[in-house]
Chain A
């Protein structure tokens, strides 16, 4: 578990920046975490997958503990773990197929074959399940011979709902082709993916915005900005931006949108309900999306979403898949962080700040019933589908690092 000196220094610097909130924002955090983890995979000495998984888990625990509210750290760690497990599974399958017959692993046989075939697909998660389904039915008739455990008939449907393969794979098997594969996968799946996230979401903009629409947004989200900018190339619409006190991110967003040529109006947060009757759609960004479809977003988002619900205005959330977290909001305060109260009641007010309790939460929790659609880089999904996306991207064992 000992990392090299240079890597340890890098990790320490990242941790202290996370603690001091010098690095804020899911994109930056995710990118840096992915790079660190790739370095860990390439530079540390590990003989088999179990050791590597343990190293990554320990490091992931350290990083998340540095800033528990930055859920992107944990998300990337879990993605990497899933990648490792899949690569290992893939390697073992190729080994198994080459070395032994199919009799012992008949349970895994047909399904692992499919896994191997579909390994190179980008949407392997979706396709593997679909392929499983068809092949399950196909092999049913072929392998109706005894010596198959009774569980077979149930597991074929069960496989649709649960990723069961983790029980059957032995991670301690040694395979030397894994390292470059894992590094390649991290590069492609995570780091390169991060770069194209904005484009993937922005490309869907024209499907959701019609002509002469009035869109409301809050806070400064690069995703939403790219989304609206792309739509503005072909459509004519207006944007109303709530200024998001006290950080006033909304004002920056408005300046950026107006610079691109979109007709923008800046309103105060208090005016959101008043002008909502004028708005056709609400588009917001998210800091993180939780397992029940709720989101953690900049403060004021819940207000906007609730006002939209009262006016029956649809709410779209533009978020990339790396922001998806398998955690449940049992206590919504767990995901909030309070920053300096100076922005709310400044120190220049004098003794007043001693006598009153001033709060300045940075995030807001938006319940899933207020969101109509998540627009992410691989398509769109309603909040009820989020659990499925989580299943595809993460392993259920890794929810607790």
Chain B
């Protein structure tokens, strides 16, 4: 069989050219065989290989149609390409190399510079490629988490996406928009806009096509920054809504389906976020008295609203804002509180025990409330809650019910988000000898930087949770989740 001979010859060539480990040889054989079959089966263009001087530059001739000479020329060209790729330190398969190219364009410039020097011999380049992979700050016990991502604005797969989503993704990636409420609301409103603008293709109805249309947008948002737990809950809810529309009998018209979805999204935002926040503030105000010294950590939109409302109602209290590197979110909260005229103290997390002497209560925000009553929140919250509960200071968590999720975590490492490790390195741009001890940390083989975003506070540190349905102990979270999901579903069906 000509094809099998072909593949055999190619693999032999491939293995001779690589001079790498046996694993690499096997990989080469496998991928070259795959490449052959791919070309044989489809007429699609394979990336990276230029036209063969063929009159038709668009489509490529299948191997069967080529003469033997042409086939040999194709082989040799592939071998040369492979050698070039190896010398440049990229993995030897064409598919992986193109993937990495896309990655490399936005990855650290160091790797890019080594890729531009193809003079290094083949085995060295292979080792370098492996080392580069490792150098991307892989903390071994967190290798199950996604490494920090960068938005892939260069790729042309994004041209099918709605521009609002692209803008939103960039804002998430650059941390211009942080905080679970803000991100959730922004995401839902963007989806509402997408749904509004969407015109389904002529062969599909709106209700059936909208799901497929939204999926790449969701995937894009996932690729720029891992979803917050509450965002995932919202998306789950949205998908449920969409599937319910599809099941409507008689089927809805496009216009009415669109309007209904947009309406439902707006209702969700209003009911479970905006009005919920107002109710939380009302419920939380019961717990604030004159003379209180309230400690809060980082910046939570609900806690901010609560404190501002308390000031407006005329209570006399002090606030201690505790902040931490590298995000310094507490500073924004401090600014807002100070401009409202609240007496504030500002410290960093490491000095919390010094200020805890005067504190009467601690109010924290949450990112999500887990099924076992633990709070999934900004990293450092667990420390604050632990310190306060050790001193018998009550810890209140303000959390809307849409943030109650149906999953459990017993430690903070199983599911988390890793941020950009370079944020830990302080850049003193004014100083001449600005070299911090970590400026070239990537060069040091044993050094890794870890920038986690979230942690889990066990329920034993938390006194109570303020939600829009009232003040509950944190262990009642799964009950609320169940009630709310059933009731909400019933409410929708009744409509």
A256–B441 alpha-carbon span in the complex (Å):
12
Docked-complex contact B447 and A303, CB < 8 angstroms: no
Give the chain A neighbours of B416 by CB distance below 8 A. 274
Closest to A359 in B: B347
A310–B134 alpha-carbon span in the complex (Å):
34
B331 contacts partner chain A, Cβ-Cβ < 8 Å: yes
Knowing A274-B455, A277-B412, A277-B413 are in contact, say whether A268-B424 is a contact too (CB < 8 A). yes
B383 contacts partner chain A, Cβ-Cβ < 8 Å: yes
A267 contacts partner chain B, Cβ-Cβ < 8 Å: yes
Docked-complex contact B386 and A345, CB < 8 angstroms: no
B348 contacts partner chain A, Cβ-Cβ < 8 Å: yes
List A residues 43-94 near B (Cβ within 8 Å): none
A245–B424 alpha-carbon span in the complex (Å):
11
Knowing A268-B379, A277-B411 are in contact, say whether A248-B436 is a contact too (CB < 8 A). yes
A244 contacts partner chain B, Cβ-Cβ < 8 Å: yes
Docked-complex contact B324 and A270, CB < 8 angstroms: yes
A361 in complex: contacting residue of B139, B345, B354, B386, CB < 8 Å: B354
A365–B354 alpha-carbon span in the complex (Å):
9
Give the chain B neighbours of A278 by CB distance below 8 A. 141, 413
Give the chain B neighbours of A349 by CB distance below 8 A. 331
Interface range, A side: 35 or more
Interface range, B side: 35 or more
Docked-complex contact A303 and B387, CB < 8 angstroms: yes
- Secondary structure at the B interface, as helix, strand, loop or mixed, is mixed
Docked-complex contact A355 and B344, CB < 8 angstroms: yes
Knowing A245-B348, A364-B351 are in contact, say whether A275-B386 is a contact too (CB < 8 A). no
Docked-complex contact B335 and A352, CB < 8 angstroms: yes
B296 to nearest A CB, angstroms? 13
Provide the B407-438 mask, 1 if CB < 8 A to any CB of A, else 0.
00001110010000000111000000000111
Closest to B419 in A: A268
A395 contacts partner chain B, Cβ-Cβ < 8 Å: no
A356 in complex: contacting residue of B334, B382, B452, CB < 8 Å: B334
A360 contacts partner chain B, Cβ-Cβ < 8 Å: yes
List B residues 299-331 near A (Cβ within 8 Å): 321, 324-326, 331
B351 in complex: contacting residue of A248, A271, A357, A359, CB < 8 Å: A359
Docked-complex contact B353 and A268, CB < 8 angstroms: no
Give the chain B neighbours of A352 by CB distance below 8 A. 331, 334-335, 338
Give the chain A neighbours of B335 by CB distance below 8 A. 352
A261 contacts partner chain B, Cβ-Cβ < 8 Å: yes
Give the chain B neighbours of A333 by CB distance below 8 A. 354
A251 in complex: contacting residue of B386, B412, B437, B452, CB < 8 Å: B437
Provide the A343-372 mask, 1 if CB < 8 A to any CB of B, else 0.
011000100100111111100110000000
Give the chain A neighbours of B455 by CB distance below 8 A. 270-271, 273-274
Q: Which residues on A are within 8 Å of B, measured CB to CB? A: 243-246, 248, 251-252, 254-259, 261-275, 277-278, 299-300, 302-303, 306-307, 310, 333, 336, 344-345, 349, 352, 355-361, 364-365
Identify 20 new A-B residue pairs, CB closer than 8 A, beyond the known A357-B346, A361-B354, A364-B351. Answer: A243-B325, A251-B424, A251-B436, A255-B444, A266-B441, A266-B448, A268-B326, A270-B325, A270-B379, A271-B380, A272-B383, A274-B379, A278-B413, A303-B352, A303-B353, A307-B386, A356-B321, A357-B343, A357-B345, A364-B350
12 A–B contacts from the bound complex (CB under 8 Å): A244-B350, A255-B438, A271-B455, A273-B380, A274-B412, A299-B350, A306-B386, A307-B383, A336-B354, A356-B321, A358-B347, A364-B353
